[in-house]
């Protein structure tokens, strides 16, 4: 990781001159991160821009909601397509502008929805007969038993499988450089931190949980072509 940032710092110092890269009013289409690979950046002013990006991932998986008892049969499991979605937005701020390299500060947000199959369990019991009373019959020297039926906890058992969607919302802050080897094409290197809150479903109940992300997506390498 240190080597990547040393290289970035070297590029920044090497290409720094008195000039400045000004993309005010231009749109750059390209790639910023692997979660939201289709994106664009529009520079509102020479200092402030707007980033948007989105990503789709289609997964073909076994439909667990209907195929729960196929282990002892020769039936082929049914398949279902699940679509993951992610949206990313940011506000890049141009802190230092040079002829070839800009140093940027980028606060951002992201939202993603990932469908999955949720197993819902319930507490179960079994009915068991126990001896509740005994009596002795002197006529034939036998013992008579009286039985009661009681419920005994059996533990959790699978009740049903439902299709749910895991949702998460991210807030992140990154620092990086955008280098222009030619006038309308740039490559970028960003790294930062962030936090995430996730909506989780367990046994049919949903709740939002905050999880720490000390190294949000690590290092992002990207590129853009400006029009």
155 belongs to a structural domain: no
127 belongs to a structural domain: no
Examine the pLDDT at 84 and tell me if it is beyond 90: yes
**Is the C-alpha dihedral spanning 20, 4, 34, 107 positive or negative?**
negative
152 belongs to a structural domain: no
- Residues with Cβ within 8 Å of residue 81, at least 6 apart in sequence: 58, 59, 60, 61
Q: Which structure tokens are listed for 59?
A: 């997964």
In the predicted model, what is the mean pLDDT of the chain?
Answer: 79
Q: What CATH number has the domain bearing residue 219? A: 2.40.160
Rounded to an integer, the average pLDDT of 164-174 is 87
Q: What is the pLDDT of residue 93?
A: 96
Binned at pLDDT 50, 70 and 90, residue 202 comes out as low
Examine the pLDDT at 222 and tell me if it is beyond 70: yes
147 belongs to a structural domain: no
71 belongs to a structural domain: yes
Rounded to an integer, the average pLDDT of 130-140 is 78
73 belongs to a structural domain: yes
- Range(s) of the domain holding residue 200: 2-117+166-226
Rounded to an integer, the average pLDDT of 178-182 is 93
Structural domains counted in the chain: 1
Q: Which pTM was predicted?
A: 0.68
Compute φ and ψ for 49, nearest 5 degrees: -130, 180
Q: What is the pLDDT of residue 140?
A: 75
- The terminus-to-terminus CA distance of the chain in angstroms comes to 32
Kindly report the number of other CB atoms within 10 A of residue 114's CB atom: 16
123 belongs to a structural domain: no
19 belongs to a structural domain: yes
């Amino acid at each position: 990781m240190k080597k990547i940032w040393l290289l970035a710092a070297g590029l920044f110092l090497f290409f720094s001159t008195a000039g400045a890269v000004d993309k005010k009013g231009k749109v750059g289409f390209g790639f910023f991160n692997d979660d939201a690979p289709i994106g664009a950046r529009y520079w509102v002013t020479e200092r402030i821009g707007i980033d948007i990006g989105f990503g789709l991932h289609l997964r073909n998986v076994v439909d667990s909601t209907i195929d729960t008892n196929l282990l002892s049969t020769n039936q082929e499991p049914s398949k279902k397509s699940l679509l993951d979605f992610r949206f990313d937005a940011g506000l890049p701020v141009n802190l230092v502008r040079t002829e070839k390299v800009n140093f940027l500060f980028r606060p951002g947000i992201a939202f993603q929805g990932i469908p999955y199959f949720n197993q819902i369990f319930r507490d179960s019991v079994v009915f068991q007969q126990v001896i509740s009373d005994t009596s002795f019959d002197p006529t034939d020297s036998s013992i008579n038993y009286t039985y009661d039926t009681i419920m005994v906890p059996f533990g959790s058992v699978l009740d049903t499988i439902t299709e749910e969607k895991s949702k998460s919302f991210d807030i992140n802050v990154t620092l990086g450089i955008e280098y222009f080897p030619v006038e309308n094409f740039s490559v970028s290197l960003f790294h930062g931190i962030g936090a995430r809150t996730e909506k989780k479903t367990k046994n049919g109940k949903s709740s939002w949980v905050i999880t720490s992300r000390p190294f949000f997506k690590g290092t992002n390498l990207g590129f853009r072509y400006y029009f």
